[in-house]
Amino acid sequence: MIGVDIGSSSIKLVELVPSGGKWKLVSAASAPVGTPIAAILKEAGMRSRRAVVALPEEQVSTHIVELPMMKDGEIEQALEWQVEQYIPIPKDEAVWSWETIRRDETGGRVEILLVAAAKTLVESYRKTVEAAGLELVAVETELNATARAEVKPGSPLSVVVDIGAKSTDMGIVREGQLIFAQTIPTAGDAFTRAIETGLGLDHTQAEQYKNTYGMNDKELEGKLAEAMKPVLAVVAGEIRKTIDFYVTKHQGEAVKMVVLSGGAAGMPEMVGQLSAILGLEVVMGNPFTGLVMDETQKKALANAGPYYAVAIGLAEKQI
């Protein structure tokens, strides 16, 4: 399977094949947005023609819906009547699906994760993928793919935080399953703008400093970290709100870990700074864990985990 992640600034492709109960990495490649996908496929030597693509989280409507206890067939019927209550567009203009995330036998309730997107959005992605000679076999959200790649079954209740260029997606993940999601517009570009303003640098230099020194307060007399702290505080505040919202609804459960992903998450000292603010364990997600890879691949992709999480999660999807 090929995972196709079309981000706001780059396209990432990953090809995986089953290998002895695991996934084997065939190839991973990326290029700036605008590069024909067919050209990336050819350059990377990808042979598969089956693809899964991610829809941008900010253009997808995700809701937790509570219903009285009922069978799956009855849930489908109930949602047919109720779905327009939860999505911002008419039902006949939407593509939607659902999955059960919790059955509370005691309370007689069932919790459903409902996901919907505009048909026109799905169609545009289908055309893009098929123009590259690929067969689109599934679409899903970026966060769902990230959760699959980075929070394996058996992990504690976690928050996945995917910091891209234009937006930050965050979601609660239980036993490898995404059970709550939200998106905020504060992300990598906001950190870069903070450096531009605070240190009077142009965009290219600010981006370079961000990626080289990050939140390290020992570098540049601490000016860089100081300039970015207000942006980090916004992201941390939203993570805290997401956690509080979930645990208020689910008494007795506690989020134990924050898993970082996305290009901007790889900034030096990001993990330590965020952990200090939140008072929680923060780890850098590594979607390559568990993949069968040769030594050349391991070396070439050593620091690229956060960057390829969505594409890997898409390629791991069981169809």
Q: Are 309 and 283 within 8 A, CB to CB? A: no
Let me know if the fold of 60-118 is the same as that of 153-284: no
| pLDDT for residue 75 | 93
| pLDDT for residue 197 | 95
Between 142-150 and 305-315, two packed helices, what is the crossing angle to 10 degrees? 100
For the chain, 319 residues long, the average pLDDT of each consecutive 10-residue run is 93 96 95 95 96 93 90 90 90 93 85 94 96 96 92 90 91 88 92 96 95 92 95 96 90 92 89 95 92 95 89 92
* Domain boundaries defined on the chain: 60-118, 153-284
Secondary structure class of 29 (helix, strand, coil) = strand
Q: Are 182 and 239 within 8 A, CB to CB? A: no
Q: Which of 120, 140, 164 is nearest to 51 (CA)?
A: 140
CATH of 60-118, one of 3.40.50.300, 3.30.1490.300, 3.40.640.10, 3.40.50.2300: 3.30.1490.300
Please give the model's pTM, rounded to 2 decimal places.
Answer: 0.89
Provide the residue type at 9 as one letter.
S
Max CA distance (Å), the chain = 62
- Nearest-angstrom CA–CA distance, 100 and 117: 19
Dihedral over alpha carbons 37, 57, 280, 64 (to 10 degrees): -140
Q: Are 269 and 214 within 8 A, CB to CB? A: yes
**Cα-only R_g, the chain:** 20
Count of CB atoms situated within 10 Å of the CB of 145: 28
| pLDDT for residue 33 | 93
- Nearest-angstrom CA–CA distance, 301 and 265: 16
Secondary structure class of 33 (helix, strand, coil) = coil
| pLDDT for residue 252 | 87
User: Which alpha helices (DSSP H) does the chain contain, by range?
Assistant: 37-44, 72-86, 119-131, 142-150, 188-199, 203-213, 223-249, 270-278, 295-300, 305-315
| pLDDT for residue 104 | 83
- Nearest-angstrom CA–CA distance, 237 and 98: 29
Across-strand partners of 265?
none
The sign one gets for the Cα dihedral 146, 148, 149, 152 is positive
What residues contact residue 54 under an 8 Å CB cut-off, 6+ apart? 3, 4, 5, 6, 139, 140, 141, 142, 145, 310, 311, 314
**Spelled out in words, what is the top-level CATH class assigned to the domain 153-284?**
alpha beta
